């Protein structure tokens, strides 16, 4: 059992700290092998970003703590992968 | 004979338990090598998610039991793959 | 000569038996290495599915028997591949 | 010199013989390694299909004989590849 | 120095000789490893085709002679690759 | 810990110095393995470019210094990847 | 340090010399491993082409000299890659 292997999060953050600081802090969490942050929308006070975290036996609670300590908030969990093999979403005719 | 290798399910769940809890429980089922959950729509009380489960000789009934014990319901089975080789859907001119 | 290597079928089936049962029965046919079923449309009494079957020297008649014994009907054969090498459809400017 | 390696044909055929029979006969031709047939349009009496044939030193005349003996007709040759290396069509800005 | 490795040509040809004959003649030219011909448009007297030729140190003049001897004409050269490495066109934001 | 592995930046620069000069200077920064610059829009005085920088333990501050010393300005950080594995953004149904 | 590895140029040239001549001359420049030229638009006197040049430590000035000596002109530099690793442009949500 390797638990959660990937989390995809929709996050609202203030401009400071920067995406670089948030990326580095998340990448140092136990079990995390890599993170990707991308910018969706920028407002006067905030920015909406998407965070993809990959690793072994990821601990969502610790991810949430880091994000909230930096003054950001998780809007929604958009994707989760778990198990010994990283499974991708499969498109079916119902998605078209 | 390896039976069912992939199930793609359209599921309606309450907000609690979380997608992480559901992903972990499904990934611990016998024969499951990995699961992917992705969020389609969020309502006030529920969320519509898509679940892709891969493994060997998957037991649909046991998958259904876990999903229903967590208060969720399977709307439809959108895809199934079975056999010794994982076959993907092939696009033909009839799909265009 | 390995005969037919792939069949892509447009099938109308009643809700019961399930796609899982149909997938398992087809995957146990002689020569079949794997099957993929995906859901196109659901009606009150029936569901329209697409079946992709891969293997060596596939016997269309036996596939048809299994499908019809389960109360389903083949609407059309949308794709066939035969020979020692699995050839994919090649797009040309005439398809655009 | 390996001659023609691929033919892509636009063919009109009666419903009988089936696409399976046509695929098998073409796959048994000398030099053919594999064939792919896909359904484009179905009419009351006929069906319009696309045939992709791959192999070494393919003989177009023999392909045409098989197709016509089964009561079908080649509408157009949509693609041809020849030589020792299978070259794909390259998209340029002129195609956009 | 390997000179020209790929030519993409827009060609207008009469219906006879066939695309198969043209493909075979071009594939036998010195330095040519493979050719791909695809049909763009058919008129009463002519057909517009796209020819992709790959090889080492291709001689455009000899290609042109073969094409013109068969009664066809090169409308435009749509792509050329030269050098020791086959370089593909790279898309930039200016192409979108 | 390898820190930041990729930065994607939206930059406004004067026409001089050239994209080549900027690319070379960035590629010589400690930890940088490669950079890609692409042109988005050109105005009379300025050009809007996108810069992708890859490497190990990238130092955003040093990147910013080089860019600003050349008279350019970073409009926004559009993407960041950090950790020992380079993670790509994963598309979910929320992006469609 | 390998300097510039790729240049993508938007070029306006007279019909003569041909794209083949320009491709060959550029491919013989020091450091160049391969070039790709593709045709965008044709006018009565000129043609607009896109040139992709790949190699090690490319010298933009020498590229420019060759292009101008043939009577052509560089409209814009649309892409540049530099460093020891060839980095591709990464798409972010800001590009959609």
Domain segments of chain B: what residues?
Answer: 4-84
- Cross-strand pairs, A38: A50, F79
Return the residue matching tokens 């041909």. G18
The string of pLDDT tens digits covering residues A19-66 is 999 999 999 999 999 999 999 999 999 999 999 999 999 999 999 999
Separation between Cα atoms, residue B3 and residue B53, nearest integer Å:
13
D19 φ, ψ (degrees, to nearest 5) = -60, -30
pLDDT attached to residue E95: 86
Q: Min CA distance, D48 vs chain C (Å)? A: 11
The three-state secondary structure class of B29 is: coil
The string of pLDDT tens digits covering residues B32-91 is 999 999 999 999 999 999 999 999 999 999 999 999 999 999 999 999 999 999 999 999
The sign one gets for the Cα dihedral E62, E67, E69, E72 is negative
Q: Which residues have C-beta within 8 Å of that of residue F95, sequence separation ≥ 6?
A: A50, G93
CB D51 within 8 A of CB D8: yes
Separation between Cα atoms, residue E84 and residue D52, nearest integer Å:
32
Q: Which residue numbers of G have CB closer than 8 Å to E's CBs?
A: 6, 8, 10, 18-20, 23-24, 26-28, 32-39, 42, 50, 52-54, 76, 78-79, 89, 95
* Minimum-distance CB partner of F34 among G86, G92, G94: G86
Q: Min CA distance, F71 vs chain A (Å)? A: 22
Q: Which residues of chain D neighbour G40 with C-beta distances below 8 Å? A: 93
The pLDDT averaged over each successive group of 10 residues in chain C (96 residues) is 90 96 97 97 95 98 97 97 96 88
The string of pLDDT tens digits covering residues E6-48 is 999 999 999 999 999 999 999 999 999 999 999 999 999 999 9
How many other CB atoms sit within 10 Å of the CB of residue D23? 28
CB E41 within 8 A of CB D92: no
User: Does C90 contact D79 at a Cβ distance shorter than 8 Å?
Assistant: yes
- Cross-strand pairs, D51: D9, D37
Q: CATH homologous superfamily of domain C4-85?
A: MTH889-like domain (3.30.70.1340)
pLDDT attached to residue D1: 52
User: What ipTM describes this predicted complex?
Assistant: 0.92
Helices (H) and strands (E) in chain B, counts: 2, 4
* Minimum-distance CB partner of B90 among C39, C79, C95: C79
Q: Which residues of chain C neighbour A94 with C-beta distances below 8 Å? A: 38-39
The string of pLDDT tens digits covering residues F3-28 is 999 999 999 999 999 999 999 999 99
Q: Min CA distance, C79 vs chain B (Å)? A: 7
Report CA dihedral (C10, F93, F10, G36) to the nearest 10 degrees. -10
Q: Do chains F and G touch (3 or more CB pairs under 8 A)?
A: yes
Q: Which residues of chain G neighbour E5 with C-beta distances below 8 Å? A: 34
Subunits adjacent to chain F (3 or more Cβ pairs under 8 Å): A, B, E, G
Q: How close are the terminal C-alpha atoms of chain C, in Å?
A: 34
pLDDT attached to residue E64: 98
User: Does B10 contact A94 at a Cβ distance shorter than 8 Å?
Assistant: yes
- Cross-strand pairs, B77: B9
Residue F93 is classified by DSSP as G
pLDDT attached to residue D53: 98
Q: Min CA distance, F50 vs chain E (Å)? A: 9
Q: Min CA distance, E71 vs chain D (Å)? A: 19
pLDDT(G1) > 70: no
Low-confidence ranges of chain D (pLDDT < 70): 1
Closest CA in chain E for residue G96: E96
Can you read off the two tokens belonging to residue C15?
Answer: 């809700």
pLDDT attached to residue A96: 77
Residue G87 is classified by DSSP as P
pLDDT attached to residue F96: 77
Percent over 70 (pLDDT), chain C: 99
Q: Do chains E and B touch (3 or more CB pairs under 8 A)?
A: no
Q: Min CA distance, B69 vs chain F (Å)? A: 26
Fold of the domain spanning A4-83: Alpha-Beta Plaits (3.30.70)
User: Does C42 contact B5 at a Cβ distance shorter than 8 Å?
Assistant: no
Q: Which residue numbers of A have CB closer than 8 Å to B's CBs?
A: 1, 3-5, 7-8, 60, 76-90, 92-95
pLDDT category at E2 given cuts 50, 70, 90 is: confident
pLDDT attached to residue G51: 98
pLDDT category at A1 given cuts 50, 70, 90 is: low
Among the listed residues F4, F53, F2, F5, the one whose alpha carbon sits nearest the alpha carbon of residue F29: F53
Strand blocks (E) in chain D: 4-14, 32-42, 46-55, 73-83
The three-state secondary structure class of E63 is: helix
Q: Do chains G and A touch (3 or more CB pairs under 8 A)?
A: yes
pLDDT attached to residue D65: 97
Separation between Cα atoms, residue G7 and residue G59, nearest integer Å:
10
Q: How many C-alpha atoms does E25 have within 13 Å on its Cβ side?
A: 16
- Cross-strand pairs, D39: D49
User: Does E92 contact G8 at a Cβ distance shorter than 8 Å?
Assistant: yes
The string of pLDDT tens digits covering residues F13-67 is 999 999 999 999 999 999 999 999 999 999 999 999 999 999 999 999 999 999 9
Fold of the domain spanning F4-84: Alpha-Beta Plaits (3.30.70)
Closest CA in chain F for residue A90: F92
Separation between Cα atoms, residue E54 and residue E50, nearest integer Å:
13
pLDDT(G57) > 70: yes
Q: Min CA distance, F34 vs chain G (Å)? A: 4
Among the listed residues B27, B92, B8, the one whose alpha carbon sits nearest the alpha carbon of residue B66: B27
Can you read off the two tokens belonging to residue B9?
Answer: 């399910």
Closest CA in chain E for residue C96: E40
Subunits adjacent to chain E (3 or more Cβ pairs under 8 Å): C, D, F, G
Separation between Cα atoms, residue A19 and residue F74, nearest integer Å:
14
What value does the mean pLDDT take over residues G62-76? 97
Q: Which residue numbers of F have CB closer than 8 Å to A's CBs?
A: 1, 3-5, 7-8, 60, 76-90, 92-95
Q: How far is CA G23 from CA C27, F35, G81, in A?
A: 54, 25, 20
Q: Which residue numbers of E have CB closer than 8 Å to F's CBs?
A: 92-94
User: Does B20 contact A83 at a Cβ distance shorter than 8 Å?
Assistant: no
Q: How close are the terminal C-alpha atoms of chain D, in Å?
A: 34
């Amino acid at each position: 059992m390797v638990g959660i292997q990937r989390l995809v999060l929709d996050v609202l953050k203030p401009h400071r700290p920067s995406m670089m600081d948030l990326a580095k802090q998340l990448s140092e969490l136990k079990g995390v092998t890599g993170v990707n942050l991308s910018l969706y929308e920028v407002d006067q006070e905030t920015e909406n970003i998407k965070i993809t975290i990959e690793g072994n036996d990821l601990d969502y609670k610790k991810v949430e703590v880091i994000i909230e300590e930096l003054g950001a908030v998780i809007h929604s969990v958009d994707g989760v992968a778990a198990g010994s093999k990283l499974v991708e979403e499969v498109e079916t005719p119902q998605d078209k």
